[in-house]
Structure 1
């Protein structure tokens, strides 16, 4: 749900709530003040890198260390293949009451090894220090699918791990307390460089002199439909066709074409998709995702459009095609 597992109140797994549950896709109104704008977007140049991690690497130290290695202040990351060693994690849980229906479980540990299925990360800073928000799913040695919100202490497994890293040249990600939801959340912020300032307002789809293409990173606030948000981001940036990569966040349950995951929150281990005709009257989207629910179960499929509002926050990377 957030980039830091500091909920209103932690619960054990499968705790039964004492309030009425909604249906998957029902909007949650949070107790804090409703903030504007609902979409916070920053255009940026980006470069793409394949990075290999080796057995025993600390996952959080490794991904946050890439900020210095790549000389940027923000990253979006897709996990391509590999293996976890130790995994420390939580997953969504019911909150204490109807006004605060979302929380996290207590901490779980998996001794590993476990094969990576999907994972995504946003990397930036919190309190002036490098910080990462990582959601993942994996297969245990027994063949069980598990997943959740990873915590520091997670290690790379014996067969290593490969990452696809999108380095953001003109933007940073800052984790701050969100008064609307009561959670911490990443928000993109423009870096005040000549290239960044010239990119504000409209985004050209031509390549930069450094050979990197343009991108937009966005934070979507609660209650906004994820597909509507993506179309709005494309229109603001001038992207008629685009792809969504390396994106993660939460929705209020999940509604797939072939099933649902329960309300009030699921966390996405990844979101990918394509947009066509965003500047016209009939945009066409396809969004594929995997989520972890309040029972720790993993669901995947194609999202139904107009049915998946953000629960706490969503962190999107949109690239023109």
Structure 2
């Protein structure tokens, strides 16, 4: 199937549907901790993929190019072509309500709308996880979970990469959900040579600058904006930026609309956190959406998240997330950078 026909004749649910934002309890045993985080330094790079470049192979090669065991990325501009992908689908029963469609392809070039990636290792081999959206010839926006075989189109692709020297990202099958998911692990500190003076790069590893970012795995049922705040507080970041993040929630609840339950996949998540080290709960008033705080609300932390999601019909929806309303569906791969 090709050229966007993935929205036709999709299997329908055999179980009652819930409202967007209703948490799902998975069939497997709950895993702990619910938020797994690794503080890390990062370096930022721009890479340009020329026409015909295998997107997965290029990002996996970036691990070696930047001498790291984990990186996150956001796509900046350009074209795909062709695209291989799946998108969320209804699962077989109420105990397993989430699944994926069969694989589809878009054979012609399509302009990038949004995309984010996590790159690490699965079974000891470099492995890449990418969610993306693109504009088709008729102007409609489609999206999904990309598969190997996706290439850069005639105009190429520009990708912003965050290399994480202190985090090893490992994708394993999760016992709780039955799906594969990335989790961060601290890297082992490098040992200096016993017979030679440290090189400048070795000296930096021996006395590194403090972490200026956190990479996290958020487990099912955790409220996304609350998890972002918890990550910032644990790291001691009072203000931070969310970028290059992807994952799924149980549908999506935006301030001006929603996308259907049981799962949507984010092609990207971005946002800001301010006042994280204050003791209050997240403001659920209009101040959390960017208006000027007043009075006692000054002490409340502000978390503003925006994103774009692909639902079980292959439709793409964008917006600002409603505070406290979006539980993680399967997993969320979160990258947070300190701004203060």
Assess same fold via TM > 0.5.
yes
Q: Does 1:149 align with 2:145?
A: yes
Contact kept, 8 Å, 1:139 with 1:145, in 2: the verdict is yes
Matched positions, count: 299
**For 1:220, which of 218, 221, 228 is the aligned residue?**
218
- State the Cα deviation string for residues 89-126 of structure 1 (Å, max 9, x = none): 00000000000000000010000200000000000000
- State the Cα deviation string for residues 179-220 of structure 1 (Å, max 9, x = none): 00001100001001169xxxxxxxxxxxx9778961100000
Q: Which moved more, 1:276-285 or 1:114-123?
A: 276-285
Q: Does 1:299 align with 2:317?
A: yes
Separation in 2 of the partners of 1:157 and 1:245? 24
Separation in 2 of the partners of 1:54 and 1:211? 34
1:31 aligns to what SS in structure 2? coil
Q: Cα distance 1:313–1:122, how it changes in 2: closer, same or farther (>3 A)?
A: same
2:37 corresponds in structure 1 to 41
Separation in 1 of the partners of 2:51 and 2:133? 18
TM-aligned CA deviation for residue 12 of structure 1? 8.3
TM-aligned CA deviation for residue 140 of structure 1? 1.0
Separation in 2 of the partners of 1:212 and 1:47? 13
- State the Cα deviation string for residues 200-244 of structure 1 (Å, max 9, x = none): xxxxxxxx9778961100000000000010010011000010010
Separation in 1 of the partners of 2:336 and 2:179? 24
Residues 275-314 of structure 1: pairs in structure 2 closer than 5 A: 275-280=273-278, 281=280, 282-314=300-332
1:248 corresponds in structure 2 to 246
CA RMSD in angstroms comes to: 1.7
Separation in 2 of the partners of 1:111 and 1:213? 42
Q: Cα distance 1:25–1:89, how it changes in 2: closer, same or farther (>3 A)?
A: same
2:107 corresponds in structure 1 to 111
1:239 corresponds in structure 2 to 237
Q: Cα distance 1:65–1:56, how it changes in 2: closer, same or farther (>3 A)?
A: same
Which is richer in strand? 1
Separation in 2 of the partners of 1:40 and 1:86? 35
**For 2:269, which of 265, 268, 271 is the aligned residue?**
271
- State the Cα deviation string for residues 40-62 of structure 1 (Å, max 9, x = none): 00001100001111000001001
Please say which structure displays the higher CA radius of gyration. Answer: 2
Structure 2 residue runs of 5 or longer lacking an equivalent are 1-6, 192-205, 281-299
Separation in 1 of the partners of 2:112 and 2:207? 36
Q: Does 1:67 align with 2:63?
A: yes
Contact kept, 8 Å, 2:41 with 2:209, in 1: the verdict is no
1:23 aligns to what SS in structure 2? coil
Separation in 2 of the partners of 1:179 and 1:250? 17
**For 1:77, which of 70, 73, 80 is the aligned residue?**
73
Q: When the two structures are superposed, what TM-score results if normalisation uses the length of structure 2?
A: 0.86
Structure 1 residue runs of 5 or longer lacking an equivalent are 1-10, 196-207
